[in-house]
Amino acid sequence: MTSQSQQQPLADRIRPESLDEFIGQEHLVAPGKPLYQAIHSGKIHSMIFWGPPGVGKTTLARLIAKAANRPFFALSAVSASKDDVRSIVEAARRERNGHQDLFSSLEPRKQGGAILFLDEIHRFNKAQQDFLLPHVEDGTLVLIGATTENPSFEVISALLSRSQVFVLEPLTVADLERIVRRGAQQLGVTLTDEAAAFLAEYANGDARQGLNLLEATANLYATEGVPLTLDNLKDALQSKHLRYDKQAEEHYNTISAFIKSMRASQVDAALYYLARMVNAGEDPKFIARRMVIFASEDVGMADPMALVVANEVFRAVETIGYPECQINLAHGTVYLARAPKSRASCDAFFEALEDVQKHGNLPIPMQIRNAPTKLMKELGYGKGDDTDLLPDRLKGKRYYSGS
C-alpha cells in the first residue's frame, strides 16, 4: 500500500470497488433493481441520490461511472464555483470529441457524456443549478447529484425532470456490522462481538461514522492478537482523536443553542450562535429551515407573521447565498427571538395526532360527509347540526388552548 493511501481514512480505503462489495440498499442494487440494471448495462441517465450521509451515494456514483466506462468528474457543491463546472464541461467536450474521432465505430459506449458527480447538490443555488442545465440537456454531462435534503425543494424543476430520483435508506444495524467487520479485517484487527454490535449501533445508519470510530480506536488500542473491546471504543470516544464526531457534535450543539436562545427570547445569544454557525460555513438553508419550523412551533399564533418572515428568509437564502444572505439570517433571527411565543397550535396538533393513533380512523359524523347521491342523502349524509364536528367518541374534546 502506498503512503498516500495509508493517509486516506479507512472509510475511503475500503470503498467498495464492485457491487459485490456493496452492502444494503437492496431496493436499488439487488438483481433486477434499477441501479443493478444501470451498472450491468452501462446505460445511464442523470440521477439524484437522496439519503442521509454515509450510506453509499458517492460509492454508487463511482461504481456506475466505472461500469459505464465514462470519464468521471466529482465536485462538491459546498466549495465548487462556476469556473469549476465550466472547466469540467470543457474537459467533457474534449473527451467526447476525441472519442468520436478515434473510436466512433469501435466503442460506441464511449460516446456518452462524461459523468459529473455533484455531492451536496442542494448547496448549489438556483443560478448555479441553472448553469448546469444546458450541458445536461445537450448530453455533454450526465449528472449524478447527491443530497441529504428533499430534492423536490432543493433541486430546480428543470434538472429534476431530467433526472431519476433514488432514495437511499440509512444502513441497518446488520449492514453496518458487516461493514465494520470488513473495516477491521482491512486494519488487521479483530473485534469482540460486543464491540462490533456497539460500532453498528453507534454508526446510526452512517458507515463512515462507524468506520471512523473503529479506525480511531485501532490507532489507540490495537495490540497484536488481542481483539478491540467495548471499553476500548468507549475510551476512544472520550479522546480528542475523533475530529469528525467532534465536528458533528459542534454542529448539533450550536444549532440547538441557537434555537434555545430564540425560544428564551435572548436576541444577543441567538445572534451569537448564528454568527458561530455562519463563521463555520454552516449550510444557510439548514439554518433557515430551522427558523421556518421555529416560526410555527414556538411563535405560532402569538405572531403569525413570524412564519411569513421565516419563509422569506428561506427564500432569500436560497436565491442569494453566502455571503450576503447572512444579513437575511440575522434579520430573521432578531424577529423570531423578539416575537411573542405560543406553542398552542403545535401542542394541540400533537394531542390530536395521539388520538388518531390511539383510536384509528373513527367514523366522520354524517353531517359533514359529502352527500353526492340521493341514496346517500337518504342515509343521512350531510344532515344534522354542526355544533361539534368531532367524531362521536371524541365529542367535547379540546386540543387547542390558545386564543
Which residues form the interface with ligand ADP (CB under 6 A)? 11-12, 14-16, 22-25, 53-59, 146, 179, 207-208
Q: Using alpha carbons only, how large is the chain's radius of gyration in Å?
A: 26
Q: Is the C-alpha dihedral spanning 227, 221, 234, 1 positive or negative?
A: negative
CB 143, CB 159: distance < 8 Å = yes
* Closer by beta carbon to ligand ADP, 23 or else 288: 23
Q: How near is the Cβ of 166 to ligand ADP at its closest, in Å? A: 12
Q: How near is the Cβ of 62 to ligand ADP at its closest, in Å? A: 8
**Which are the contacts of 116, defined by CB distance < 8 A and separation ≥ 6?**
73, 74, 75, 85, 88, 92, 132, 141, 142, 143, 144
Distance (Å) of CA 390 to CA 357, 372, 398: 15, 21, 10
Q: How near is the Cβ of 70 to ligand ADP at its closest, in Å? A: 19
Q: How near is the Cβ of 55 to ligand ADP at its closest, in Å? A: 5
* Closer by beta carbon to ligand ADP, 216 or else 325: 216
* Closer by beta carbon to ligand ADP, 179 or else 329: 179
Element of type H or E holding 5: helix 3-7
**Distance (Å, whole) CA 142 – CA 159:** 11
* Closer by beta carbon to ligand ADP, 29 or else 313: 29
Q: How near is the Cβ of 53 to ligand ADP at its closest, in Å? A: 4
Q: How near is the Cβ of 324 to ligand ADP at its closest, in Å? A: 29
Q: Do you know the residue count of the chain?
A: 403
Rounded to 5 degrees, φ, ψ at 49 are -100, 120
Residue for grid cell 430546480: 156
Strand partners, 119: 76
* Closer by beta carbon to ligand ADP, 53 or else 139: 53
Q: How near is the Cβ of 38 to ligand ADP at its closest, in Å? A: 16
Q: How far is CA 237 from the centre of its chain?
A: 25
* Closer by beta carbon to ligand ADP, 15 or else 331: 15
Among 220, 288, 209, 196, CA closest to 247: 209
* Closer by beta carbon to ligand ADP, 55 or else 270: 55
Element of type H or E holding 108: none
Q: How near is the Cβ of 356 to ligand ADP at its closest, in Å? A: 34
* Closer by beta carbon to ligand ADP, 182 or else 289: 182
DSSP codes, 235-276: HHHHSTT-HHHHHHHHHHHHHHHHHHHHHTT-HHHHHHHHHH
Q: How near is the Cβ of 281 to ligand ADP at its closest, in Å? A: 18
* Closer by beta carbon to ligand ADP, 37 or else 172: 172
Q: How near is the Cβ of 23 to ligand ADP at its closest, in Å? A: 4
**Distance (Å, whole) CA 371 – CA 383:** 9
* Closer by beta carbon to ligand ADP, 24 or else 300: 24
Say if residue 304 is preceded by a cis peptide, omega within 30 of 0.
Answer: no
C-alpha cell, 278: 455562519
